[in-house]
Structure 1
Amino acid sequence: MTRKEVIMSVSEAASMIKDGMTVGIGGLLTANHPMAIIRQIIKNGVKNLTVVGSPAAGLEIDLMIGAGVAKKVATAYVGGESLAPIGPFFRK
């Protein structure tokens, strides 16, 4: 049995995200945030996502809110610690 390749490019991964989907975003405070795929999702023009973040999500979710990608957000916190204690778009 041949194993299937599971490594893909950022653009391939982002192309799997469609309007209206629910997506989970990883990372914690200022570490391990998937910024490259977030930027590609925004470039692809995806809209109306429900975004589920980690308990202490970073500014990538704030970027999604500001770009009009996120319709709903489920997380306890969106910010960048001392850089931006609360994300400006999340605050609204």
Structure 2
Amino acid sequence: MRIEIENGKLVTVINFMYELKLTRTHSRFRWHFINLMNESLKVVEEDRKELLKDTLIKMKRVKRLSKMVNMTLKIWTPCRMI
């Protein structure tokens, strides 16, 4: 069986699975399923942190570049002749 869960809903599904009252056999399968989802959640969080880190680095570069461009524009603005 294949189950697809959106990354943002993993925590909600894990909490829902914890709350289910199941028989012994089903409870074992539930724990196995919860462990798989926890592993997926860890991977998602690591990827999210890495993307956030990369985005922040790029934003800092863009901010520095825009400051440099503004400085050069201020230096090279032609003055009006009266």
The TM-score with structure 1 as length reference comes to: 0.25
Higher helix content, 1 or 2: 2
Find the structure with the greater CA-based Rg. 2
Higher strand content, 1 or 2: 1
The TM-score with structure 2 as length reference comes to: 0.27
